Copies of this chain bind each other. A is one copy, B any other.
Amino acid sequence: MTGMTTARTSLPEAARHLSLRERKKLKTRIAIRNATYELIEEQGYDATTVEQIADRAEVSPSTVFRYFPTKEDIVLTDEYDPLAEELLRARPEDESLLDSMRFIIRQSMSMAIADAPTFAEREMKLRLRLMTEIPAVRSRVMESMSVTSRLMCRAIAERTGRHENDLEVRVYTMGLMGALLEAAIYWTEHDYQGDLLDLLDRALATFKDLPKR
């Protein structure tokens, strides 16, 4: 009972009230992800095998796959997606949709940074780099984009008084997601020059607001 088990990772404050089991799960989850990031920075994505990841995270390969369905998911899954939906829903009714989007982007980015100051930025850049360089990762991102898009559909539907399965709503939302993604890629390809938030704003500006009803 020395500090051995805590050596792996320290948990965020929010995890205090979870059961021992849940806390352990969170820990291995984080351990796997950290191990992955480390290895990728050392050797690159392709050279990093799941076995190596398991080794460094001190779990078995089986466990890695139990936590993450695919290798790409280890790098890509984040916890902020469902948050975005809530945030959007919390915005005032009369605010324009694009303004709301702008707001929640700033919001969620600053939350991520508050969670883990230096880490968040490095992680985001690595993710974006992998996204542009590794086809498997990129296509996985694209897919998750369409999932996120569906999530946002619900919130946007409420906003505009349309149905969430309305063709226009879905097209519009997908367009928004694509725009944001493209802006992020643009930023990455230009060596992270300038302010990402500005680029995202410009990306949003190419859209007109989706009319109500």
Chain A interface residues (CB < 8 Å from chain B): 135, 138-140, 142-143, 145-146, 167-168, 170-172, 174-175, 177-179, 181-183, 186, 199, 202-203, 206-208, 210
Most buried by B among A140, A168, A171, A172: A171
Closest chain B residue to A69 by CB distance? B135
Question: How many Å lie between the Cα of A170 and that of B179 in the bound state?
Answer: 8
Those 8 A-B pairs whose CB atoms lie nearest each other, nearest first:
A142-B142, A139-B139, A175-B175, A139-B143, A178-B178, A174-B178, A174-B182, A171-B179
Closest chain B residue to A140 by CB distance? B139
Contact A183 B167 (CB under 8 A): yes
Contact B170 A202 (CB under 8 A): no
Closest chain B residue to A175 by CB distance? B175
The secondary-structure label for the interface of chain A is helix
A208: chain B residues within 8 A (beta carbon): 207-208
Question: How many Å lie between the Cα of A179 and that of B178 in the bound state?
Answer: 9
Indicate which residue in B146, B167, B199 contacts A202 across the interface (CB closer than 8 Å): B167
Question: How many Å lie between the Cα of A44 and that of B38 in the bound state?
Answer: 39
Closest chain B residue to A205 by CB distance? B168
How distant is A213 from chain B, measured CB to nearest CB, in Å? 14
Question: How many Å lie between the Cα of A147 and that of B198 in the bound state?
Answer: 25
How distant is A25 from chain B, measured CB to nearest CB, in Å? 24
How distant is A114 from chain B, measured CB to nearest CB, in Å? 28
A178: chain B residues within 8 A (beta carbon): 171, 174-175, 177-178
